[in-house]
Amino acid sequence: MASAVLLWLDIERARHSGTQAAFNEFLVKPGKLEPEYGQIYSRARKAREEQDYDLQAAPLTYEDAARIVADAERFLSRIERYLREARAIR
């Protein structure tokens, strides 16, 4: 969803880190989206990378996973609202 909203702004990044940086630079920093959505993105990306690549990482608890999912649902809803307001979608 972050890549989709950036594409609406004609911005494309090849790496996850670039997408996250662009999301913050072009959407959060200028006030188009609230800072909490940049934080949600950061936390979810960090958790995914730890679980995928860090062999020493503790498995996510049910509560941690449930929080990530709930935050992701809020993130998706907010991006959808932004795209509707920008008339990118109906």
Dump pLDDT digits (tens) for 5-64.
999 999 999 999 999 999 999 999 999 999 999 999 999 999 999 999 999 999 999 999
- Domain ranges within the chain, ordered by starting residue: 2-85
Size of the chain, expressed as the number of residues it contains: 90
Q: Are the CB atoms for 75 and 40 separated by under 8 Å?
A: yes
Based on C-alpha coordinates, what's the Rg of the chain? 14
DSSP-derived letter for residue 31 is T
pTM of the model: 0.91
The CA distances from residue 81 to 24, 63, 90, in Å, are 17, 27, 10
Instruction: Determine the pLDDT at residue 32.
Output: 97
pLDDT for the residue numbered 9: 95
What is the predicted pLDDT for the residue at 53? Answer: 95
